[in-house]
Homo-oligomer: A and B are copies of this chain.
Amino acid sequence: METSASKRESAFFFECPLPLRDYPTVTLGHGSGGRLSADLVEHLFLPAFDNAALRARGDGAVISIADMRLAISTDSFVVRPLFFPGGNIGELAVNGTVNDLAMCGAVPLHLSASFILEEGFELAQLNAIAHAMGEAAARAGVSIVTGDTKVVEKGHGDGVFINTTGIGVIPAGVHLAAERVRTGDVVLLSGTIGDHGMAIMSVREGLAFEAPIQSDTAPLHTLVQALLHLNAEAVHLMRDPTRGGVAAALNEIAQQARVGIVLDERAIPVRPAVSAACEMLGLDPLYVANEGKLIAIVAREHAEAMLAALRAHPLGEAAAIIGEVTDQHPGLVAMRTRIGATRVVPMPQGELLPRIC
């Protein structure tokens, strides 16, 4: 016992708080968007890169240059399979970064695209992916202005990995931040949950439904603009619930804003096919990734108007008020269940759905 403990100690030439010491090597859970991902950011990357923009830990960073506020966001995409019902890795890579910029309140403008290709990958597939990216960029009103391509030997990559990084401008009057969230605020969700994750999982697991589950991948910038145009001041924070699902996104908000959140299970929209697939695989839709949904924390007095604005948008037809911010249990997310009980919705710990984006 003692030998193995001291051996593990010596492998760690860095000082780290307890959470990381439990894992001397990278696990799939470190890419989950849940607790282990957060540990990696908090205990490894933040100390190494320390600066104020990074510490704010939004979906992107907000920086000021001259008198402009810009949002910058980056994401690498490793989804498997590359093509899935409702989309492909290229479309996902564009929409994902567009959405992270939109969650900062920014109007997305420009993207970079960087490819890590595996030797032997078909150029025809790469071309299809590149065209899907071009089309997604056109739909989102952004241009892909610069790029890079690297190739690794067969067996050292996996077909194609794509990084997109984007910048956008945050209009005056828009200020989304965890510290703006307050007791009594309302939690809006723009539509059904779990569609993206279960589209991927049903392909991987060979689940057959009458109509296949489609990914919800979509650019959310116009949905965001609809809310901000209504009343920018009343929108306090936005997140898109991707990896780790609604549960991870709301736990992050609760922790960063130091508030409690209470959800109403009956109010959370889930498609029957997604619900069925989740049941078959033993998954909770609250933890399943979305790629075309947003959560907005808004001032109570404007919540109904905001809900109406979401529902008037093609991407927000199934929008709902799913909960509220409370001064009880700060840092925790709770849920009133269908049967009237209340349970905690914890931050996801491990990794149930690897390589979902």
Chain A interfacial positions (CB closer than 8 Å to B): 11-14, 16, 20, 23-31, 37, 40-41, 44-45, 48-51, 53-54, 60-61, 63, 65-66, 68, 70, 72-78, 109-110, 112-124, 126-128, 130-131, 133-134, 137, 143-153, 155-158, 161, 163, 165, 167, 169, 351, 354-355, 357
Tell me whether A110 and B26 are in contact (CB under 8 A).
Answer: no
Tell me whether A130 and B45 are in contact (CB under 8 A).
Answer: yes
Chain B residues, Cβ within 8 Å of A156: 157-158
Tell me whether B165 and A26 are in contact (CB under 8 A).
Answer: no
Closest A-B pairs by Cβ, 8 of them: A31-B151, A165-B165, A74-B112, A48-B130, A61-B145, A61-B146, A53-B145, A163-B163
Tell me whether A158 and B152 are in contact (CB under 8 A).
Answer: yes
In-complex Cβ contact of A13 among B128, B137, B147, B161 (8 A): B128
Tell me whether B123 and A49 are in contact (CB under 8 A).
Answer: no
**Chain B min CB distance to A354 (Å):** 7
**Chain B min CB distance to A20 (Å):** 6
Contacts A30-B151, A53-B110, A73-B112 known; list 14 others, CB within 8 Å: A14-B131, A24-B122, A26-B119, A44-B126, A48-B127, A48-B131, A54-B143, A63-B110, A65-B68, A66-B68, A72-B110, A72-B112, A73-B146, A167-B167
Asked, given contacts A51-B143, A66-B68, A123-B24, whether A149 binds B73 with beta carbons under 8 Å apart, the answer is no
**Chain B min CB distance to A223 (Å):** 22
Asked, given contacts A27-B151, A128-B14, A354-B151, whether A134 binds B165 with beta carbons under 8 Å apart, the answer is no
**Chain B min CB distance to A149 (Å):** 6
Number of copies: 2
**Chain B min CB distance to A68 (Å):** 6
Tell me whether A150 and B44 are in contact (CB under 8 A).
Answer: no
**Chain B min CB distance to A254 (Å):** 21
Tell me whether A48 and B133 are in contact (CB under 8 A).
Answer: yes
Tell me whether A48 and B148 are in contact (CB under 8 A).
Answer: no
Tell me whether A116 and B161 are in contact (CB under 8 A).
Answer: yes
Asked, given contacts A65-B68, A68-B65, A354-B153, whether A147 binds B54 with beta carbons under 8 Å apart, the answer is yes
Could you list 8 examples of A-B contacts with CB < 8 Å? A13-B128, A25-B119, A26-B123, A29-B151, A31-B151, A48-B133, A72-B167, A74-B112
Taken together as a complex, chains A and B put the C-alpha atoms of A152 and B148 apart, in Å, by 21
